[in-house]
Structure 1
Amino acid sequence: MRTIDDRLAALLAAAVFSASPLLLCGCASTAPAPRAVARGAAAPLDQRFASEPAPTPRFPDPERGRKLRAAAADVQALARRAAERERLPALALGVVIDEELAIQAVLGVRDAAAGGAVDEHTRFRIGSVTKPLTAAAILRLRDEGRLSIDAPAARYLPALSGVVYPTRDARQITVRDLLTHSSGLPRLGVFPPASTSRDVTEREILATLDGFGLESAPGTATSYSNLGYSLLGLVVARAAGVPYRRYMSDAVLGPLGMRDAAWDPSQVPPGALASPHARGVDDDGAVAPIQPWRLGASEATAGLYASLADMGRFVGFELAAWPARDAPEAGALRRSTVRESHLMARNGSAFPAAGGDDGPGLGWHVREDCDLGHVVFHNGLIDGFSASVMLLPQRGVGVVALANVAGADLESLNADVLGQLAATGAMEARVVPPSPPVRRAAQAVASVIGRARTGALDRRLRPGWFPEAHLASLREALRDAGARVGACALDGSAVVESATAARFGLRCERGALSLAVRVDTSPDARITSLSVEEQTGAIAREAPGPSDRPARCR
């Protein structure tokens, strides 16, 4: 029979050498408050905004919410089968629809030996899903003007000046490099990454950087680094001038409404904490409780405990950042900042993973999926816990799964849940209505078809853009079309290419036409391109164009 220490060592080895982005270490709660790095915030620059707001994308099916919620029984059945197959002591699964934790499946016991029911407020350690929250703290500090993510990270952590760069042309590690796992730092430092008996100290983490060689020049490759996020927790403390935990509580967890969140088991009320478990080495795969790891000064990478209710609020907040709109801001971060964190880094600071379909965001991983489109996700594994979060920002749906055993395949469970929701036919992406300038341009074109005078259209054309010969042939084409089909009007259908271009369906007296129009971005938008052709079938309802699908899927 193997001891708890043996199981812990085996689990640590599995996590360290796993190819999946998973684990690791922590922050001493008794550390003195760090001194803030004095940086004056730049004066905000002026912004001008459109006097006519862009149309807000919307879901095409008015029954969407009801249909998705009607899949609750099927989703709960998936959760039960996964819990049985994986032999999970406890599983908490939630589906967030339009910012609401709409479907839940909470199963099992807090402790395989002692029992205890679980509910939506039972705390699980979320492992590396802590990273998006740490990234949120960094981005909030950036938005407050208290740090620059494109500045050398050594500005905030001078100990980083001790790392050894692999080439003489390598630039310094930036905060953005740490966020996007493109710093060249390896998965782990050379300090003991976790212990059941003592905290990792800040001094240990920083001392490991002296003479520490990078695996690659910053910004040239991605390599998942728990060490990098341990350092980001220290950057948060330096820039904020208060301990990492305090800033997280005041600026991130509190505004998100994550009232159950905790960093230590001692902070959790009795009967509300799920115990960590590890699988035995025997063939029966039985699980047994183990001692939780103490992460100390490295907790920014994987240390948070949270409940399903907490995670539902977090996922709802992330989804609420989409789409871009004029509504007032509310919450821990600006919506534009959250959207920024959900986009794959392609700006020279990081590169997509092999194949070009997955890559790092800012704290998240990003995937362009042929069926689901834009997917934002993160998984977590630490001591005896597993976690997985998947967001579909364009579809307004997210899934979170938490379990109290290491190595549970929760990502596959979440993918199955999203597949079940997709089977309802209601999990479609938002559609974008044509912008008012594009619609007005289309109405101007429609108004002259079948009519002798084209003055209404001429006034909408960009002056000097169309050669006179082109204008003459355009007017003749519109007269010929009118002679065949009669007078026309927009039929309400459209396929939007961008904010300045769309294809419309026209309903005419003796047939139908398809009109493609593009306008410029001047205050009084003028037409820069148009074409009209006879329509044999219906134009699709207002919908994203084919360019919204990844190129490899078209």
Structure 2
Amino acid sequence: MDAAFAAIDAACSAFAEEQQIPGLVAGIVRAGRLVHATTAGLADIEAARPVAAGTAFRIASMTKNMTALAILALRDQGKLALDAPLAQYVPQFAAVAPATRDSPPVSLRHLLTHVAGFVTDDPWGDRVLGMTPAELDALIATGKLFARPPGIAFEYSNLGYGMIGRAITNVSGMPYQAYIRRTIIEPLGMTRTTFDAIEASRGDYAWGYRLDDGAWSRERIEPDGEVGAMGGLATTAPDYARYIAFLLSAWPPRDDPESGPVRRSSVREMGLWHAPPHADDPDRPSPPGAYGYGLNNAADAELGRRLHHAGGLPGYGSHVLMIPDKGVGVFAFGNRTYAPMSRLTLQLATILYPSLPKPKVATSPYLKRAVEAVVAAYVAGDIAAAQHALAVNFLLDMPARLRNAELASLKEKLGEGRLEKIEPVHALAGSFMLACDRGRLKGTIVLSPDAEPGIQKLTFAVEE
């Protein structure tokens, strides 16, 4: 991967210059660790101090997936239900008038997926991280919260995640920040990750900058407060890599004992589509993505399934992108207001992707039996040779005489064939390739859910 890492280093330097970002750090996580980190530019313009791999940056809304993970941990412990009314965990919300008389109660699931009906609030939310508990109470009591009823559409809400933080405080019996430290940060050994950016700034810290009329100036540090759950974390590349390695360790599902602070199944749950689809990236046309719990899930034509989330604050931009099927994560932090780091992580992932090994999926005995039966039928020219491996629907959907005619036509075109490889999708589906005298034949199989899985669907494609 040395060539890919060299290209990544060059891309980061070029990106910092093109986007006028004073400094940045990017990391690649694979096989449970930070395998590469690159830095560019300055953490402190005034002191000409360069960014180091251990320099702390604020990561803003990338905090949200940690907040979601904390809620799922409490759910797994039986301490809350995602579909219960929010007022059950934040009593002040009981006095909030519904958006309409027929609106459902706002739930934690609504908040997690940004479908609570609250107005999108990025510019405002970025400047109220230091909100006090009393100020949040007042906002709940008097604020004009609803843009629409809950459960209608996706609309990104920082305030919604701030209220999740309050729910975590109330249910856990300790401040949100303390619960996150005890449940996630400390178990993962993230020793330089904190919600207290002011304290972090006393060490190796990237100051946040804005550029106005060609002149750089520092943004103020937004202090920690009651709504830090929506975007308050500061962290370093080595620390954040530990967190991403933990998330990626949830794939593939397996029988191993649990070893992380939250169940692997709950991590995977975060990445499912839980909200209505929305345009993922206008700069990269692709199928729509959708929000899970603190993570976006997008189907990329080149990279496959990618889980990602951006962060932005005055003085900072950040993004993380994970390809769980490849076991790799890419993240980048920059210290300019709303630096578009998602463009960089996508570029880095695209550079890295060709060098990543294809994940291995074991061929189940059921799939092996089915493929061998189809190969025997091809050799014999008679689907009856696969009779023992067929599901009840198979010959009802396409009678034997038509199947045999298909086999005869393929064999006339391609000649004799031998099994070249089997490529499982999972235990009950996959494809196989026959190397034939005059070309290659690809077969695709889906098995039934019977006690002895049989072939319910079989298709062929000639690859000359």
- Decide: shared fold, TM above 0.5: yes
What corresponds to 1:223 in structure 2? Answer: 155
SS of residue paired to 1:407: coil
What corresponds to 1:123 in structure 2?
56
Report how far residue 293 of structure 1 moved. Answer: 1.3
Would you say 1:383 and 2:310 are equivalent positions?
no
What does residue range 386-397 of structure 1 map to in structure 2 within 5 Å? 386-397=317-328
* 1:179 CA displacement: 0.6
For residue 49 of structure 2, give the secondary structure of its aligned residue in structure 1.
strand
Is the CA contact 1:449–1:486 (under 8 Å) kept in the aligned structure 2? Answer: no
1:256 matched to 2:183: no
Q: Is the 8 A contact 2:272 2:292 kept in 1?
A: yes
1:398 aligned partner, one-letter code: G
2:282 corresponds to 1:351: no
Partner in structure 2 of residue 5 of structure 1? none
Q: Does 1:277 align with 2:209?
A: yes
Deviations 1:288-336 (A, max 9, x none): 2343112311111111110011122222222222233333332122222
DSSP-derived class of the 1:331 partner: coil
2:291 to 360, 372, 388: 360
State the Cα distance separating 1:227 from its structure 2 match. 0.7
Within the alignment, does 1:524 sit opposite 2:447 as a pair?
A: no
Please report how far the alpha carbon of residue 236 of structure 1 lies from its aligned counterpart in structure 2 after TM superposition.
0.9
3-state SS in 1 of match to 2:297: strand
CA contact (8 A) 1:189 1:205 kept: no
Residue 284 of structure 2 is matched in structure 1 by none
Taking the TM superposition and a 5 Å limit, the aligned residue runs for 1:36-435 are: 66=1, 69-188=2-121, 194=127, 199-213=130-144, 214-265=146-197, 267-268=199-200, 270-279=202-211, 281-282=212-213, 284=214, 286-345=215-274, 350-353=275-278, 357-422=288-353, 425-427=354-356, 430=359, 432=361, 434-435=363-364
Q: 1:191 to 1:120 in 2, by over 3 A?
A: closer
Q: 1:450 to 1:465 in 2, by over 3 A?
A: closer
Structure 1 residues 430, 450: CA separation in 2 closer, same or farther (over 3 Å shift)? closer
Aligned AA for 1:159?
Answer: Q
- Bigger radius of gyration among the two: 1
Q: How high is the TM-score relative to the length of structure 1?
A: 0.73
2:58–2:197 CA contact under 8 A, matched in 1: no
Contact preservation (8 Å) 2:125, 2:158: no
Cα separation, 1, equivalents of 2:201 and 2:288: 43
The residue aligned with 1:551 is none
Note the residue ranges of structure 1 that are not aligned, 5 or more in a row: 1-65, 538-554
Distance between the aligned counterparts of 1:455 and 1:490, measured in 2? Answer: 19
Give me the whole-angstrom Cα distance separating, in 2, the residues matched to 1:510 and 1:393.
Answer: 38
Q: CA deviation at 1:135?
A: 0.9
Residue by residue over 1:238-293, the C-alpha shift from the partner in whole angstroms, topping out at 9 and shown as x without a partner, is 121222112101111123332210121454485322223232x32x2x22234311
What secondary structure does 1:256 align onto?
coil
Mapped contact 2:66–2:294 kept (Cα < 8 A): yes
1:443 aligns with 2:376: no
Say whether the 8 Å CA contact 1:451–1:479 is kept in structure 2.
no
Distance 1:514 1:181, change over 3 A: closer
Provide the aligned C-alpha RMSD in A: 3.4
Inter-partner Cα distance in structure 1 for 2:272 and 2:419: 35
> Aligned equivalents of 2:245 and 2:67: distance in 1?
17
Counterparts in 2 of 1:389 and 1:445: CA distance versus 1, 3 Å: closer
What percent of counterpart residues are identical? 31
SS of the equivalent of 2:355 reads coil
2:283 counterpart residue number = none
Instruction: Give the conservation status (yes or no) of the 8 Å contact 2:121–2:156.
Output: no
Question: Deviations for 1:22-72, whole angstroms, at most 9, x for unmatched residues?
Answer: xxxxxxxxxxxxxxxxxxxxxxxxxxxxxxxxxxxxxxxxxxxx3xx4211
Shift of 1:235: 0.8
In 2: Cα distance, 1:140 partner to 1:253 partner: 13
Contact 1:399 1:414 in 2 (8 A): yes
In 2, Cα distance between equivalents of 1:510 and 1:402: 54
Give, as a single letter, the amino acid of the residue that structure 2 aligns with 1:169: D
Residues of 2 paired with 1:373 and 1:190: CA distance? 32
- The aligned amino acid for 1:376 is L
In 1, Cα distance between equivalents of 2:165 and 2:18 = 36
Whether contact under 8 Å (1:95, 1:397) holds in the other structure is yes
Number of residue pairs matched by the alignment: 457
Note the C-alpha offset of 1:459: 2.8
Structure 2 gaps, min length 5: 281-286
Higher RCO (CA 8 Å, separation ≥ 6 residues): 1
Note if contact 2:197-2:233 (Cα within 8 Å) is conserved in structure 1.
Answer: no
**TM-score scaled by length of structure 2:** 0.86
Counterpart residue identity of residue 331, structure 2? V
The answer (yes or no) to whether the contact 1:451–1:487 under 8 Å persists in 2 is no
Q: Select the residue among 432, 455, 462 that pairs with 1:504.
A: 432
The alignment partner of 1:70 has SS state of: helix
Q: Which residue matches 1:35?
A: none
CA contact (8 A) 1:438 1:502 kept: yes
**Alpha-carbon contact 2:392-2:456 (below 8 Å) kept:** no
Q: Report the Cα distance in structure 2 between the residues aligned to 1:209 and 1:97, rounded to whole angstroms.
A: 42
1:203-238 Cα distance to aligned partner (Å, 9 max, x none): 211221225441111110111111111111111111
SS in 2 for 1:380: strand
Instruction: Report the CA distance shift for 1:108/1:472 in structure 2 as closer, same or farther (over 3 A).
Output: closer
